[in-house]
Amino acid sequence: MIKFITETVDYLKEKGFDTPEIGIILGTGLGQLINDVEIIKEVSYNHIPNFPTATVEFHKGKLIFGKLAGKKVVVMQGRFHVYEGYSLQDVTYPVRIMEKLGIHTLLVSNAAGAINLDFKKGELMLIDDHINLQGSSPLAFQGVEQLGERFVDMSAPYDTEINSTFKNIANANGIKLHKGVYASVVGPQLETRAEYRMLKIMGADAVGMSTVPEVIVANHLKLKVAAVSVLTDECDPDNLAPVDIAEIIAMAGKAEPDMVTLFKELIENI
Ligand code: HPA
């Protein structure tokens, strides 16, 4: 993997990705943040050597280098999911690349269902901890110890300082920001009523299909990490309506201005 990483990093450096400080994974509900980025360079995932899509299929995703709130950032516009058929190593490959380019902090957003029924759709949740239910680990491969230690500490995977800054920004802007545990499943099917009950008993406040693999690898690389979920549906097993993807997308859109404010002000302050 080291040879692949070096090749990818050399390509991006040559394209002008010059020592970004912060990496951002734009998930659902944060796409508009790109409008605030002064774009210096962008490359389609398909053109990046060794990126998961480079030889496989068309992917509309782009890696963007630019400036946001005075900081040099590298932005993933579009992420990879296990439910699309990628391996956990593929899904997390871009995190390894962003770290080698120079980032010290990784910021992530996603859409999730609210398991905690005190949380309402359209609201935001700061991820305080997670439960990995994707069935494996992005660190479970031969040679992982050449990239960092194998037995990675996960006692505090999300940066407490960044999280308290997020909270302060939310308070100052009148944004409701819950704090909770995010469980990641493979998907792409949504959960059954029995699965939602199980997730609640386990201690999850929200459930989604991303983020945890990237956060594990970011911890492997000793990056600071923070992540925010936009809650798009309420997962009440006793009153479960059939999933409405249009509504999920509409909910993510509704919360987007708050998400953008949080991330922009955070980047200004770190
Ligand atoms: N389950 C899993 N992933 C999701 C959900 C959900 O209810 N809502 C948005 N992403």
Q: What is the mean pLDDT of residues 258-264?
A: 95
Q: How far apart are CA 206 and CA 196, in angstroms?
A: 10
Token pair listed for 140: 């479970």
What CATH code is carried by the domain that includes residue 240?
A: 3.40.50.1580
pLDDT at 113 over 60: yes
Report which protein residue has its CA nearest ligand 1's atom 5. 113
Model pTM above 0.85: yes
Identify which of 209, 229, 234, 254 to mutate to test ligand 1's pocket (most ligand atoms within 8 A of the CB).
209
pLDDT at 181 over 60: yes
Given the DSSP bridges, would you call strands 38-44 and 105-114 parallel, antiparallel or unpaired?
unpaired
Which of 28-32, 61-65, 256-260 has the lowest average pLDDT? 28-32
Q: What is the DSSP string of 96-148?
A: HHHHHHT-SEEEEEEEEEE-STTS-TT-EEEEEEEEE-SSS-TT-STTGGGTS
Where in the sequence is the domain holding 142, given as residue range(s)?
A: 2-269
Q: How far apart are the first and last CA of the chain?
A: 31
Report which protein residue has its CA nearest ligand 1's atom 8. 113
In this structure, are residues 211 and 184 in contact, taking their beta carbons and an 8 Å threshold? yes
Q: Across the chain, what does the average pLDDT equal?
A: 94
**Closest Cα partner for 131 from 92, 188, 185, 90?**
185
Domain total in the chain: 1
Report CA(161)–ligand 1 centroid distance (Å): 28
Report which protein residue has its CA nearest ligand 1's atom 10. 112
Which tens digits make up the pLDDT trace of 115-161?
999 999 999 999 999 999 999 999 999 999 999 999 999 999 999 99
190 lines ligand 1 (CB under 6 A): yes
pLDDT band at 29 (very low <50, low <70, confident <90, very high): confident
Q: How far apart are CA 116 and CA 54, in angstroms?
A: 39
Which tens digits make up the pLDDT trace of 198-244?
999 999 999 999 999 999 999 999 999 999 999 999 999 999 988 88
So what's the pLDDT on residue 54?
56
Residues in CB range of 163: below 8 A, 6 or more apart: 126, 128, 179, 226
28 lines ligand 1 (CB under 6 A): no
pLDDT band at 245 (very low <50, low <70, confident <90, very high): confident
Query: How many Cα atoms sit within 13 Å of 188 on the Cβ side?
Result: 8
191 lines ligand 1 (CB under 6 A): yes
Q: What is the mean pLDDT of residues 176-180?
A: 97
Which tens digits make up the pLDDT trace of 68-99?
999 999 999 999 999 999 999 999 999 999 99
248 lines ligand 1 (CB under 6 A): yes
233 lines ligand 1 (CB under 6 A): yes
211 lines ligand 1 (CB under 6 A): no
Q: Which ligand 1 atom is the nearest neighbour of the CA of 110?
A: 10
